Structure 1
Amino acid sequence: MPLLMHYSGFYNMAVICVITLSMLLVFQTTVDEVSEGMCACKHCVRQQTHSIWFNELYDRSIPPLLTRENYVLSEDIYKYWKGLQKNRNEDNYTAVVEKLFSLFPDKSQYLDASPKRCRTCAVIGNSGNLKGSSYGGLIDLHNFVIRINMGPTKGYEKDVGTKTTHRFIYPESATDVDNSTHLVLTPFKVLDMEWLISAFTTKNITSTYKKIRPSVKANRDKVMILHPAFIKYVHEIWLLKRGKYPSTGFLGIIFALHVCDKVSTFGFGADQYGNWFHYFEKTSNKLRTGAHSGSFEFDTMMQLYLENKIQVFRGR
């Protein structure tokens, strides 16, 4: 009997060890999988899918924002970026960046992804299909509301909302933002970065290829700059080098895919009659410019919708 009890105790201990080890392995696998691909949203952007198309395009290792730690550009990225600068002889990139980060924040942003986070983001285009949409309340419910260029909210609150957390601009589309909004510069040339410095200091840069604002009202502590590598990534990977460079709106959408867990888009594409215009413009009721079926950006956005990676609100 003592011998039987001895073996019985050994057997029970072995079973307990096996169960404990199995639980640890399962728990570890679950944590790893969740941290890499899951979030607290019902549908998480960074969750891997069976779509070869999306998985090949979506690269979270590409930094969306420029910082002091990642500003050094590889040869291929610098060559690409120089190619956008219309033959300008600009070789002062390093000096300009060092000046940038003496004025503006230089730390990484939005690296806090976790299984407990559900950061919702709305990217607001400027399409006339927002008119009469009554999307304002829905837009303002999102954690981040990303607006593009000069798209106003005042006077259009019912359709476009009142909240703005990020506004994507370049010098030629600059507009003032309030103290709580991140001004996100889209630099297609070194001169764009020089303008940003000037806009907050000397205010001496007044033109690029056209006349521009010499200054802009914004919170210096909330200024961000898109990384040239990110612009190249969006252009060459997502848009397959279509067009001269990606639009500010499409850059905003891919930015949202990198920093948000759930992404919704508003104000992209034509209205229900096939008209293409800005919601803040006065237009004729008879304006018809077709459906822009050749717009690769819009087609790509709709593919993201079909892949269940973004929600698309088409308006009216």
Structure 2
Amino acid sequence: MKTMKPTQKLIFFFCSMLVVGFICYSSGHLHLWGQKPLYDKQGFLLQLDTKLPLELVYKYGNLSEGVCKPGYAEAKMTSIYPKFMRRVPMFLDRNFKRLAKVGNYFPPFGFKTQEKIIDSILTYTKNYGLGEELDSLSCKRCIIVGNGGILFNKSLGSRIDDYDVVVRLNEAPVSGYGKDVGTKTTLRITYPEGAIQKPENYEKDSLFVFSAFKPLDFKWLRQMVFKEKLRGTEGFWKSVAHSVPRDPTEMRILNPYFIQEAAFQFIGLPFNNGLMGKGNIPTLGTVAITMALHNCDEVAVAGFGYDMNTPHAPLHYYETVKMSTIKESWTHNISKEKEFLRKLVKANVITDLTNGI
């Protein structure tokens, strides 16, 4: 084996140093050459567009327009957010204690300390799905109907009613507004302070879906389920319903995982040690959209989006309160939430019928 001459050793040494230096320089200065990270800090793809990835073109490209696309929302969501895991149950069932992701968190991000009361409620309600007909569908098209004034005079009622699952929020009325918001309600998601207070205003054929934001909410639900007289209302921030005209079999508990995921994974709100704090609670509308992404094949929304440039526009479709009444909320971060929803619309994960997002 030949030994290297001193001059060869010197050249070899300098060449090695140049290679190492070039690698170090490159890794530290990639941004000078226009290289950017592919994903934002929440884990979403930075470059979003409505085009289908090639593998989805082959899967959905030949389907007729209007035909439900099985797994579409999951496929589109995964293409822009690789960490997305679809199979998360919509409602709590008798096996809810196995849900580790929410078992370690206090309300609203979990059910810690509330296991006993939830167990008693679920034993009584007995049903944990959407119902036999909807649960058996091989492809579900869902729409979340927000309460925004943007719905007014849009005549979207018949389009909304065409969806398999129509989700409404809190006390937003249907009667008298059918032309714009439809007449069908599959489920209405609410919490004690947002629930309809007049029994006659409840639709006859919808599920009452409860979303808890504090431990006291579960006590209220138990009284509603067991038809007990309402007691202990001091902890609510406004008046609450004294009864819910629903059979226990028509009542459900929304999986708190959707509040947790919307807040910390999707929007990036302050974690605050997993406790409710300033600006870290997602709105119920975004929670409902998160739920739909996990449980529906196609997802649409209507009545979403606050336009602060139109202060005299109606805030809600059913009342005269103006947009200017909105002030920065202690619990919500509207601007960060809008940023998240715009990602979904821009990538065509969800369809916005009123173009408010």
In the superposition, the TM-score normalised over structure 2's length comes to 0.66
**What does 1:51-62 align with in structure 2 at a 5 Å threshold?**
51=79, 53-56=80-83, 58-62=84-88
Q: How far did residue 131 of structure 1 move?
A: 0.9
Q: How far did residue 308 of structure 1 move?
A: 1.5
Pick from 294, 299, 316 the counterpart of residue 339 of structure 2: 299
Corresponding position of 1:231: 259
Work out the CA distance in 1 between the residues paired with 2:105 and 2:112: 14
CA change 1:191–1:101 in 2 (3 A) is same
- Determine helix, strand or coil for the equivalent of 2:68: coil
Pick from 315, 326, 329 the counterpart of residue 277 of structure 1: 315
C-alpha contact (below 8 Å) 1:80/1:232 kept by paired residues: no
Pick from 109, 125, 144 the counterpart of residue 104 of structure 1: 125
Figure out how many residues of one structure are paired with residues of the other and give that number: 273
Deviates more, 1:165-174 or 1:197-206: 197-206
- Determine helix, strand or coil for the equivalent of 2:106: helix
Q: How far did residue 270 of structure 1 move?
A: 2.8
Work out the CA distance in 2 between the residues paired with 1:294 and 1:223: 29
CA change 1:100–1:122 in 2 (3 A) is same
Match status 1:120 vs 2:138:
no
Amino acid at match of 1:59: M
In the superposition, the TM-score normalised over structure 1's length comes to 0.74
C-alpha contact (below 8 Å) 2:106/2:112 kept by paired residues: no
Match status 1:314 vs 2:354:
yes
Q: How far did residue 63 of structure 1 move?
A: 3.1
CA change 1:218–1:69 in 2 (3 A) is same
Pick from 206, 212, 215 the counterpart of residue 181 of structure 1: 206
Q: How far did residue 247 of structure 1 move?
A: 1.0
Work out the CA distance in 2 between the residues paired with 1:179 and 1:252: 21
Q: 5+ residue gaps in structure 2?
A: 1-57, 271-278
Q: How far did residue 150 of structure 1 move?
A: 0.8
Work out the CA distance in 1 between the residues paired with 2:69 and 2:109: 39
C-alpha contact (below 8 Å) 2:139/2:297 kept by paired residues: yes
Stretches (4+) displaced over 6 A: 110-114
CA change 1:256–1:110 in 2 (3 A) is farther
Q: How far did residue 219 of structure 1 move?
A: 3.4
Corresponding position of 1:26: none
Q: How far did residue 192 of structure 1 move?
A: 1.3
Amino acid at match of 1:281: E
Amino acid at match of 1:55: P
Corresponding position of 2:240: 212
Work out the CA distance in 1 between the residues paired with 2:139 and 2:123: 33
Corresponding position of 2:249: 221
% identical aligned pairs:
28
Amino acid at match of 2:219: E
C-alpha contact (below 8 Å) 2:141/2:299 kept by paired residues: yes
CA change 1:106–1:165 in 2 (3 A) is closer
**What does 1:1-316 align with in structure 2 at a 5 Å threshold?**
41-42=68-69, 44-47=72-75, 51=79, 53-56=80-83, 58-72=84-98, 74=100, 77-82=102-107, 92-107=113-128, 117-175=138-196, 176=199, 177-200=202-225, 201-205=227-231, 207=233, 208-210=235-237, 211-241=239-269, 243-270=279-306, 274-275=310-311, 277-283=315-321, 295-314=335-354
- Determine helix, strand or coil for the equivalent of 2:293: helix
